[in-house]
Amino acid sequence: MTDSSTALGRERAAVAEACRRLGAEGLLIGTAGNVSVRVGERVAITATGAVLAELTADQVTVVDLDGKIVGGTLEPTSELELHLGVYRRHGTGAVVHTHAPMATALSLVLDELPCIHYQLLALGGTVRVAPYATFGTPELAESVLAALEGRSAALMANHGALTHAPTLDKAVEHALLLEWACGVYQHAAALGPPRVLDEQQQLAVIEAAIARNYGTTHSVPPEQEGTR
């Protein structure tokens, strides 16, 4: 099938671009990891065996929600069922799975990444670690889907990390945020037990973010322009 017939030409290019960015940031190594985006009943997803930091649009396959190939010439990633499971259960728009070094390191030793910084609230707070299962298996998919309940991110024991979001850009941002938080935790834990934000502190952050429309730019009111 052609890109025009699947209406996912731009999405295939966007997935390839996202992979190249994640590779440049050090979150994707070689062929390890996979990225996808959903448009309606179609999913554009990375092909198995592709070098992700150098990915091109023709190395992105299009499937339907049953996993049937409807666009592209390459077999999709072995984690296809994991991606489709996230779409089915969590109704999201994009999925990013990496073997990022800090996230993978913490998946070896933690049962969860606690909420050590208020920015983790963008992922739902505490990040759970899904129990280990062999890659590409239904057991792994179910383990990760459960860990994602109420969250936008999960660590995968002895494996890596997964994030999802309504858009591909946001799913990539979540992956970068998770890796940053894992690095902060690792550095802090080397010095002593990291302090964790309790429920009251987390709620206060949420209330402040809503009140201040945190995370968006704001124009200076006209009456203040002359005071800058």
* Beta-ladder partners of 29: 32
Residue type, 18: A
Q: H helices then E strands: how many in the chain?
A: 7, 9
Residue type, 45: I
Residue 182's closest CA among 126, 220, 136? 126
Return the structure tokens found at 181. Answer: 């938080």
In the chain, beta strands by DSSP E: 34-39, 42-46, 60-64, 69-71, 94-98, 112-113, 127-130, 153-156, 160-165
Q: What is the number of residues in the chain? A: 228
Query: How many Å apart are CA 160 and CA 102, to the nearest integer?
Result: 9
CB 36 within 8 A of CB 14: no
Query: How many Å apart are CA 61 and CA 47, to the nearest integer?
Result: 6
Return the structure tokens found at 60. Answer: 């992105």
- Annotation marks residue 79 as catalytic: yes
Catalytic residue among 79, 139, 142, 223: 79
Return the structure tokens found at 189. Answer: 């834990």
Query: How many Å apart are CA 171 and CA 36, to the nearest integer?
Result: 10
Q: Which residues form the catalytic set?
A: 79
